[in-house]
Structure 1
Amino acid sequence: MNNLSLVATATTPAVDFNASTGLVALSGESYPENAFEFFKPLLAWVADYVRQSSGPLSAEIALSYLNTSSVKSVMDLLDQFEAAHRAGRTVAVHWHYQQENERALEMIEEFKDEVTLPFFIVAVPG
């Protein structure tokens, strides 16, 4: 299985998915014209990783802004993590945000409320 890496653009986050460690990293902002198309290969990668590996799955997320369709796509990603967790896989999410960004914190807390997997909110001084 190959790694998946994408450089951040003005409207899409940086992506670094590592097949040898199961680490999924997303950082930046996400408001592409078509979030579903942008996230499609990311969702496929996670599904393939879960099928092909028995290793842990972890996410390091630092998304400071998401448009509505990106929120839906990130929730789809978290749903895949949740399914792996419920199937007995070691899974964890660490979501980093700028400490003074209360809007981001509220959004992250809403994501956390939707899953039962280990989900850690990490405040970064800014």
Structure 2
Amino acid sequence: MIRGVVMEKLQLEATQYTPEINLDPAGIMAFSGKSYPENTFDFYQPVMEWLDQYFANELPKRTVVNMEIVYFNSSSSKLFFDMFDMMEEASGEHSLEVNWIYDPENESAREAGEDFIEDFEKLTINLIEKG
């Protein structure tokens, strides 16, 4: 990608099977809701392309990614793994943190966040319990 390309926000509305996604080139990203689309990789393709372009450009001083996914299937888990892998690579040269936000009654969401922390030691992932 060409450095300095002007990027647009990417916003996807939530559906019964997919999360609301807001990606802002100013460095604020948010994923919220459920993630079990019929074809996970097709659904997330524009997101991954946007992130690839984002990390190839001049970045803001800090990037914050808020992940409030209440339920996700195994193919979404694999996609999040790929996404966090991309973020971990970029975090060496950039201040980037992921906030994994979960409901205290949703033990599987907390455990998923803990697993991602173990898998991505170089990526700052904060477990945040919703109050």
Give the alignment's TM-score, normalised by structure 1: 0.93
| Structure 1 alignment gaps of length 5 or more | none
Residue 34 of structure 1: aligned partner = 39
Cα RMSD over matched residues? 1.0
SS in 1 for 2:41: helix
Secondary structure of the structure 2 residue equivalent to 1:105? helix
For 1:12 and 1:90, how far apart are their aligned partners in 2? 28
Gaps of 5+ in 2: 1-6
Q: CA deviation at 1:57?
A: 2.2
- In the TM superposition, what are the counterparts of 1:23-62 in structure 2 within 5 Å? 23-55=28-60, 56-62=62-68
Are 2:118 and 1:118 aligned? no
Counterpart-to-counterpart distance in 1, 2:83 and 2:128: 19
**Contact in 2 for aligned 1:24/1:58 (Cα 8 Å):** yes
Q: Tell me the residue number matched to 1:12.
A: 18
Count residues with an aligned counterpart.
123
- Is 1:95 the equivalent of 2:100? yes
Separation in 1, partners of 2:58, 2:104:
35
Instruction: Return the TM-score normalized by structure 2.
Output: 0.90
1:3 maps to 9
Amino acid aligned to 2:90:
A
Q: Please state if 1:81 is matched with 2:113.
A: no
CA offsets, 1:77-96, max 9 Å, x none? 1111100012x111100011
**Alignment counterpart, residue 63 of structure 1, candidates 63, 69, 73:** 69
Moved over 4 A (4+): none
